[in-house]
Structure 1
Amino acid sequence: MSAPLRSRALAAAATALCLGLTASACASSGSGGSGTEGNGKGTITFWDNNGGPDRTPVWKKIIADFEAANPGIKVEYVGIPTKDVQQKYDTAAAGGGLPDVGGVGTAYLADLAAQGVLEPLDDRLATSSLNGKIIKSFEDIVRSSGTSDKLFAVPTSANLGTIWYRTDLFQAAGLQPPTTWDAFYAAAQKLTDPAHNHFGFTIRGGAGSVAQALEMMYAQSGVDTFWNGDTTTVNDPRNVAALEKYVGLYKKATPSADVNNDYTKMVAQFDNGDIGMMQHNLGSYQNHIDTLGKDKIDGVPLPSSAPGSPRTAVSNPVDGIGLFKTSKNKEAAWKFIEFAASHTENSYWNEKAGSIPANTDAATDSWIKDSKPTQVAQQAMNDPNTKIVQLPYYLPEWNSASKAEMEPVFQKLLLGQVSAKDFCDQFAEKLNKAQADWKQRNGKG
């Protein structure tokens, strides 16, 4: 069964299916039933949904702080690479072995909510020290991303599309920061010298390419909503034109190898070569600093469609922490969520990640003032003139359509085998059907 068919089955039946996978691959903290509150002590298992050399040390520090403050609780850490996390959750939901608590991003929240494996956290939050301390817009995105208006994860961070640029290369070329689209395209052209392996931009052509293309499309087109009624705006002529201009950079102002770029390759190529710009979110800031140094890198939010017009920003997934229904120690697991989302710990995590903190107290900490890209992104998100284009994370088919199904088509687009209109029309057809199916399942037709 294909990924999209599996997702539709999960949403329609709200049952856990996992074909060809076994629970033995997952850490276990008990399975079946609805779990228990426990006595607030003992061992809990935490799955980090972005495990790796950048994030694992941060979580281990938070866990150490938590265990010191709660000597009766031990946290078992399991780091899962972000590309594998949804499959891991699906596997564990089907065969048993979900953690007590885990990182949950809104990009796959609908899938987990449809399976009924997450505990609604509204009542717990209402009586918690966190009540009123989480940025409301982040909560709203989490609620709208599930299968109901329930809060299935406590938000911890958010992101915004960013154009990273090499300040040293810009200064040497006499260029201004790319704060307008005209400046962006002019810089991409001026900084390109293929004979010396210099390029103005590096494009993401491999895994994760469609998400970044959507950001570039909507930011340039000014289209400020994802749906026009029940029809997606992905293939709006303004978006098609924006996509044509964006992919037109390929091989003209980018390396030809970019067609296979995933996140890791893109960042490595940008940080270690003579490339002027790349587009990603705030999460790559620390990587750039570690390699280039703070004086050679800066970032600006994606510009508005025209100077003076409202900024249209595609919603990046809000990250959060969820409590799983099968936990045998929900009281201890909730204590960990409260601790991780508290002022000090949430501030620490987001400072290391370069993301926008969800805790309202953390959002005003001094490190944000010292991190210009994060500060500017936070200001852009809070600007009433910024229009956030909410991606339909609530659709169980969203992940499969925007990744496994359309990323190979995006590569064909870069290679000139399909047109921008063909790409957008194919994507729109999948999304319109998914939206119609979702409305029918949920009695909204």
Structure 2
Amino acid sequence: MKRNLLKIMLTSTLAATMCASLAACGSSGSSGTTGATAANQSGSATSTSNSEQVNANSDGTVNNPEAVQIKSGDLSFWSLFTGGDGEWWQKIVSDYNNTSPTNPVQCVTLVWADYYTKLQTAVAAGKGPDMGISHVSKLYELASTGVIEPLDDYLKDNDIDLTKYYSQNNIDAVTIDDHIYAIPLDTHAEVMYYNTDLISQAGITEDDIANIKSIDDFKDLLKKCKDTLGSDCTPLCLSNSGDDPFRVWYALYYQMGGAPFVNDDATKCTLDKDKAEAAMKALKDLYDEGYIQKGINSDDNAVPFQSGKAAFLFGGTWLTGTFESTKGLNFNNACFPQLYDNQTCWADSHTLILPVKKSRTKEEADNAVKFMFYASDKGGITWAESGQIPASSTANQSDKYKSMKGYNVIDELNNAQFAPKASHYYNGIKTDLQSALDGYWTGQVDLDTAYENLETAVKNNLD
């Protein structure tokens, strides 16, 4: 597919309510309910019949977002933020609406697992929202299929210069064919947590952790934990399937100097066989040498650490708030360690997007972009409470943020290795790579077969 998105034809406040609840960066399993109360949690005053059309869930998410009534003059925002994320996002929206903008923002929260499908379907039908969220790993797909608009003209007309506020890494991630398609909200990365009580028992200092420079250095610390903490503690907490071991392998692959999974136009698999296999073997050795206890469920990857039964954990930045609220858990966090040549980590980013909407006026689009920038810039320090690393320097260089644990991993803004810009990455390449790796971690296939499966995963999802 040729990457000239300007040639693609674009197909066609939350004033007093909450954006809903569920786990950060997770999925919703709520059962459907009906009635005005649940529908109103989406930010609209509706009749009972319309509430039934909205088909709201008990957690405040909605199954039919197109049916939510948006107050005249308001801008609609479709969100996937639930749980703690949803509460912090609601505060940002409420704070903005309290500034008396020309167009207040009304938030509608969708079921996480349905969000992208319903967004793409609604935009194609001409019923999409004024604004929305996209992971940067999904952004190219949305841009290449005409779901979202480039923001260049709106940013210029409103004197918003992203280079003054965001790292080049973040800006590059939202730039496609030299056009900006989103405003970065955060970076959420796979980082390292450690239990300060347990590492002390193992004779490990925080300086020892800061001085990890190789896989052997890290193994030395894990061995101390294994030798001293007893069989009920795992030196390293990591599931043997699912997202987290994929993210660790991803980090190791790029630390070893692995090439992007695809070429620039995503038409050819460019996996580096030697480095892909070396990264697989390096992680598998941690399982086989007993540094990771068996039986850690992919759905509960952080539970042993949260319960004080793990010395180290590789997990997402969004876990920070949960750990801080866990009574009796003394911990700290650090960037994903540099175990090989390059200091890189797996990361994704929530970004703010402007879906195609023919009925939206230029003034409304301008005000939408103003809100998006406000949410990231002025709202960034509020968003930091969710555990994500705020993208705007207004937030991430503030005195308040420097006093938060999130600042310990601020360098991940530059260490982040974002996903390749491919139309079939989010639900294609990534999902199939993860499945191929799961077979190796669990011993179902050998290394050679696992690599063949990795290569197939990429080749089956080229543009």
Report the TM range for the smaller structure's normalisation: 0.7 to 0.9
In structure 1, give the amino acid aligned to 2:76: T
Q: How much does 1:183 deviate?
A: 3.4
* Conserved? CA contact 1:226–1:389, under 8 Å: no
Please say if residues 104 and 321 of structure 1, whose CA atoms lie closer than 8 Å, have aligned partners that are also in contact.
yes
Q: How does 1:100-249 map to 2 (within 5 A)?
A: 100-131=130-161, 132-135=163-166, 136-144=168-176, 148-175=177-204, 176-177=208-209, 179-180=212-213, 181-192=215-226, 196-209=231-244, 211-218=246-253, 221-223=256-258, 226=261, 232=269, 234-249=271-286
Alpha-carbon distance, 1:156 to partner = 1.4
Question: Which of 379, 384, 391 lines up with 2:411 in the alignment?
Answer: 379
**1:308-337 Cα shifts (integer Å, max 9, x gaps):** x542334x2222111111163434423321
Q: 1:415 aligns with which of 442, 460, 463?
A: 442
In the alignment, structure 1 residue 391 sits paired with structure 2 residue 419? yes
Letter of the 1:108 counterpart: K
2:386 is aligned with what amino acid? A
Residues 235 and 424 in structure 1, CA contact (< 8 A), matched pair in contact too: no
Using the alignment, how far apart are the partners of 1:297 and 1:113 within structure 2?
A: 40
Name the residue aligned to 1:441.
none
Q: In structure 1, what is the Cα distance between the partners aligned to 2:160 and 2:72?
A: 21
1:298 maps to what in 2? 332
Residue aligned with 1:257, SS: coil
The answer to whether the Cα contact below 8 Å between 1:28 and 1:96 also exists between their aligned partners in 2 is: no
Are residues 1:365 and 2:398 paired?
A: yes
Q: Does 1:347 align with 2:381?
A: yes
Pairing 1:68-83 to 2, within 5 Å after superposition: 68-70=98-100, 72-80=102-110, 82-83=112-113
Q: Distance in 2 between matches of 1:90 and 1:69?
A: 31
Q: Residue 299 of structure 1: CA displacement? A: 1.9
Q: Deviations over 1:203-227 (max 9, x none)?
A: 2344424641333422552436556
Q: CA deviation at 1:296?
A: 1.6
Deviation string 1:106-129 (CA, Å, 9 cap, x unpaired) is: 111122112212121111112335
Q: 1:396 to 1:380 in 2, by over 3 A?
A: closer
Q: 2:64 aligns to what?
A: 26
Cα distance change on mapping 1:177 and 1:321 into 2, 3 Å: same
Task: Kindly indicate whether the alpha-carbon contact (under 8 Å) linking 2:256 and 2:342 is maintained by their aligned counterparts in 1.
Answer: no
Show CA shifts across 1:182-215 (max 9, x none).
2322333443489742111222344424641333
- Residue 93 of structure 1: how far off its partner (Å): 3.5
Gaps of 5+ in 2: 1-7, 13-52, 56-62
What do residues 237-265 of structure 1 show as CA deviations (whole Å, max 9, x unaligned)? Answer: 1331221121233372334323x403xx1
Aligned twin of 2:116: 86
The offset of 1:177, in angstroms, is: 1.9
1:280 matched residue in structure 2: 315
Residues 353, 234 of structure 1: CA spacing in aligned structure 2 closer, same or farther, 3 A cutoff? farther
SS at match of 1:248: helix
Is the 1:164–1:300 contact (alpha carbons within 8 Å) kept by the matching residues of 2?
Answer: yes
Q: Distance in 2 between matches of 1:391 and 1:63?
A: 29
Could you give the per-residue CA deviations for residues 373-399 of structure 1, whole angstroms, max 9, x where no partner exists? x334333544xxx6x64531x212212
1:82 Cα deviation from its structure 2 partner: 4.5
Q: Write out per-residue CA displacement over residues 370-427 of structure 1, whole angstroms, 9 at most, x where no aligned residue.
A: 235x334333544xxx6x64531x2122123344423333332122111234223322
Letter in 1 for 2:150: P
In 1: Cα distance, 2:342 partner to 2:222 partner: 24
Q: Alignment length, in residue pairs?
A: 394
Describe the shift of the 1:366–1:300 C-alpha distance in structure 2 as closer, same or farther (beyond 3 A): same
Quick one: higher RCO (CA 8 Å, sep 6+), 1 or 2? 1
Q: Tell me the alpha carbon deviations over residues 259-289 of structure 1, each in whole angstroms, 9 at most, x when there is no partner.
A: x403xx1123321240112212322211221
- Which residue is equivalent to 2:365? 330
Q: 1:402 to 1:256 in 2, by over 3 A?
A: farther
Distance 2:164 2:342 in 1: 28
Change (3 A) 1:338 1:219: closer
Runs of 5+ unmatched residues, structure 1: 1-11, 17-21, 31-39, 439-445
Which whole-Å deviations, capped at 9, do the CAs of 1:123-152 have from their partners, x for residues lacking one?
1112335324331331111114xxx33212
Equivalent-residue separation in structure 2 for 1:277 and 1:331 (angstroms): 46
Q: CA deviation at 1:57?
A: 0.8
The amino acid that maps onto 1:426 is: N
Given that residues 234 and 424 in structure 1 are in contact (C-alpha distance below 8 angstroms), is that contact kept between their aligned partners in structure 2? no
**AA aligned opposite 2:444:** Q
Pairing partner for 1:47 from 74, 78, 83: 78
Q: Which has the larger displacement, 398-407 or 153-162?
A: 398-407
* Inter-partner Cα distance in structure 2 for 1:83 and 1:415: 26
Change (3 A) 1:311 1:93: same
8 Å Cα contact 2:189/2:348 also seen in 1: no
CA distance in 2, matches of 1:231, 1:101: 33
Output the CA distance in 1 between the equivalents of 2:217 and 2:388: 26
DSSP-derived class of the 1:77 partner: strand
Partner of residue 312, structure 1: 344
| RMSD between superposed Cα atoms in Å | 3.5
Describe the SS at the equivalent of 1:76.
strand
Distance 2:263 2:114 in 1: 33
Distance of 1:255 and 1:430 partners within structure 2: 28
**Which of 286, 304, 313 is the equivalent residue of 1:269?**
304
Q: Distance in 2 between matches of 1:81 and 1:207?
A: 21
